[in-house]
Amino acid sequence: MYDNRHNKEVQTNEEQFGIIDIEEKDILSLKENLPPEIRSLDEMKAKDVRTLAEVGMVMDESNRSGTYLCYGQCGFVTTQFIEGLECIPIAEALEKYIWLKEKYWFKAIRRDEDEIVEAISNSIPRGFFIRVKKGYKINKPFQAALYMTRKTRVQGLHNIIILEEDSELTLLTGCTRAHGTKKGLHLAISEIYVGKNAKFVSTMIHNWGPSFDIRPRTCTIVEEGGVFISTYCSTNPPRTIQMYPFTHLKGDNASAKYASIILGIPNTYCDIGGTIMMEGDNSRAEICARAVCKGGNIVQTGLLIGKGDNCRAHVDCAGLMMSNEGMIEATPALRALNPSARMSHEASIGRIAPGELIYLMSKGFTEEKALSTIIRGFIDPGIEGISPELDAALTEVAEISGHGEEWDVIPIRNR
């Protein structure tokens, strides 16, 4: 089940930023059948299309296996006919498949886990259902976009992803808001099931803004020989975000990797962590967290739990201070429940070395370009074959971080 053991600590840290009162965010709207703002993807305005493109959703589906768009409170699905792949709105899936509710609906996460999960569990089901059938490997990525409009104050979703035995899928998810949207609360539950010898690669890009509060709740269960790779990148942080995904490596020889890239700006609070439980024998886990702080507060946490025989794991938290304002707190953690577990961790926080900057500038780089180049290398998640969408997001983070900074007056902060 979903592990929320750090929730008390998170709430304490958030007091100075304002604890979210979901009643004040018009949570009752999640229980209402609101009329759709658009009735097809073709009705989207050009500015909506451009905004969605910034987080990786493209209208040309020639390089996609399908699309899911949540526009406000209404979901749309367009899929090419690809044998073995199914994506439909979650409400439709619950009506179509009796076994879905019996085996997967709130089976990885408890309904009463916290007020966020409880609020979604009591609302009208919204979100997507994705299934890849046994033995099918989907070559093109599937794209999902969660889009908050000016009429949407609260967005609450529950997504279920199932990869059956020997299947593969890459999912690109972009989360953003329409220009002119003043504030909002985004809530989401994701239950992910990776079957025996299946592989699921998830890339998520956020572009919110300082008037939004974001609360994802994600739990993943990985069976024998399964592989789960999750990369999260925030190019424009919200006012507050708190996410602490939990992955259970249930089967032998299962593996998981979390990578997160966070940009902090003034008046924002980002608490990004994760737990991976290695129950299966010979399981492998890695957490790689990168943060660039131009202000605001960033908390990096990562907990690896070694329970199975001969499990191996590493957690690495690193932060780069680019301002005299703000904070980075890095807390990697290990918990061994088996004497054969082999786990390691490291954490570092500092600034750009002046020598690196001077060297690049001596080669003809401007100061801004040199800063961006160094930062781009620092935030690389170390995952082979990253998508063009993620590469563009990383470049954007590097360019924003490297713009107009006085590197020579930045203090060093080491944990």
- pLDDT tens-place string over residues 116-138: 999 999 999 999 999 999 999 99
pLDDT number for residue 401: 65
Tokens of 364: 């003809």
pLDDT number for residue 40: 80
Dist. CA 358–CA 396, nearest whole Å:
23
pLDDT number for residue 210: 83
**Cα R_g (the chain), whole angstroms:** 21
pLDDT number for residue 345: 94
Exposure on the CB side of residue 392, measured as CA atoms within 13 A: 13
CB 328 within 8 A of CB 296: no
CB 412 within 8 A of CB 359: no
Dist. CA 274–CA 287, nearest whole Å:
8
**Residue 395 DSSP symbol:** H
pLDDT number for residue 387: 65
Name the pTM for this structure.
0.88
CB 352 within 8 A of CB 324: no
Dist. CA 113–CA 189, nearest whole Å:
11
Pairing of strands 66-71, 74-79: antiparallel
CB 375 within 8 A of CB 369: no
Alpha helices (H) along 115-233:
115-121
pLDDT number for residue 411: 28
Decide: residue 360, CB within 10 A, 0-12 exposed, 13-18 middle, 19+ buried: middle
User: Which residues in the chain show pLDDT less than 70?
Assistant: 1-26, 80, 381-387, 390, 398-415
pLDDT number for residue 102: 95
CB 295 within 8 A of CB 324: no
Dist. CA 232–CA 171, nearest whole Å:
12
